Amino acid sequence: MSLLSFRKSKEVATPTVNAQMEAFLKDYSIEVMPRTAEKVEDFRELLPAGTRVYIAHIEGTPIEDMVATAKRLATDGYKVMPHFPARIIKDEATLADWIARYQGEAGVDQALLLAGGVATPHGDYHSSMQLLESGLFDKAGFKRLHVAGHPEGNRDIDKDGSDKNVMEALRWKQKFSETTDAEMALATQFAFEAGPIIAWADALKDAGITIPVHIGIAGPAKLQTLIKFAIACGVGPSLKVLQKRAMDVTKLLLPYEPTEVLTELAAHKAANPDFNITNVHFFPLGGIKTNANWAIENGGASAVPASQS
């Protein structure tokens, strides 16, 4: 084969990036935990500069570890958004201390406020609304505050399977968003099927909820891993997408990739520019490196090698 023919064959083999997907993945965010972040030698080789990185605060994680992770990511040029789970925060003094530590040591000015997965509150707080009502984030000058969204409902909040309490809380947060100087968004639980996601997002608009949505998407992972996390996190109707895949022997051993759901959402966004889902938020259940590489290969911005930064 001549050199010219080889080059042409290589060009043909290069995958074409979906322009709609590329636009939809712009400014995507991703989630880490201190213990998973420790395994990453250099985030700058995986994530584009300026990427928003959420830091999940799991019960039992020392605040010192959270702040150290935030400082590391901020130093590397990332927008850091730590979780503030209401039910593991003892009181207002603890909340104020956490905010001061994040600001003073890592320059943090944005946060995800959520109830948290703990059944029994450790102290005075049980919901993200109470954290917002404290006024401490506004007083500290936080520029961005995200709250949780649930495309498939939340059995912990609405035990009867309805969305009554969830929607009531969202209406409250909508009113709050109109009084705070901070930009707000809904960061959602992950789901696997585009149709129900679109229907849920449209229903929010119909209900007068105009807070932008950052849709949660599970990154590439083994099917067994995804099913385990989906059940643990209460993912409902779209779990059948994984179960159907598990029944297909030809796909059982192949890793799941979010290509289908994101392609459909990206196409819907392209056809409906005012669609209220504005960003993608990845849960890297199969690993940060795997997720970051998938994003790059499918149109997400490339990371800059540390040697060139």
Q: What is the pLDDT of residues 178-192, one digit of tens each?
A: 999 999 999 998 888
Question: In this predicted structure, what is the pLDDT of residue 154?
Answer: 57
Q: How confident is the model at residue 222 (pLDDT cuts 50, 70, 90)?
A: confident
- What is the Cα–Cα distance from 283 to 165, expressed in whole angstroms? 25
> Which stretch of 124-128, 151-155, 223-227, 247-251 has the lowest confidence by average pLDDT?
247-251
Q: How confident is the model at residue 81 (pLDDT cuts 50, 70, 90)?
A: very high
Question: In this predicted structure, what is the pLDDT of residue 224?
Answer: 73
pLDDT average, residue stretch 92-116: 97
pLDDT average, residue stretch 256-279: 96
Residue 261: Cβ-neighbour burial (10 angstroms; 0-12, 13-18, 19+):
buried
Question: In this predicted structure, what is the pLDDT of residue 253?
Answer: 54
DSSP class of 185: E
Q: Is 52 within 8 Å of 117 (Cβ atoms)?
A: no
End-to-end CA distance of the chain: 38
Residues 6+ apart with CB under 8 A from 57: 66, 82, 83, 84, 85, 88, 116
Highest mean pLDDT among 49-53, 113-117, 188-192, 238-242: 49-53
What top-level class would CATH report for the domain 18-297?
alpha beta
According to DSSP, the residues that pair with 60 across neighbouring strands are none
pLDDT average, residue stretch 48-71: 97
Other Cβ atoms closer than 10 A to 124: 15
- What is the Cα–Cα distance from 21 to 300, expressed in whole angstroms? 8
Going from N- to C-terminal start, the domains of the chain cover 18-297
Residue 23 scores a pLDDT above 70: yes
Mean pLDDT of all residues in the chain?
86
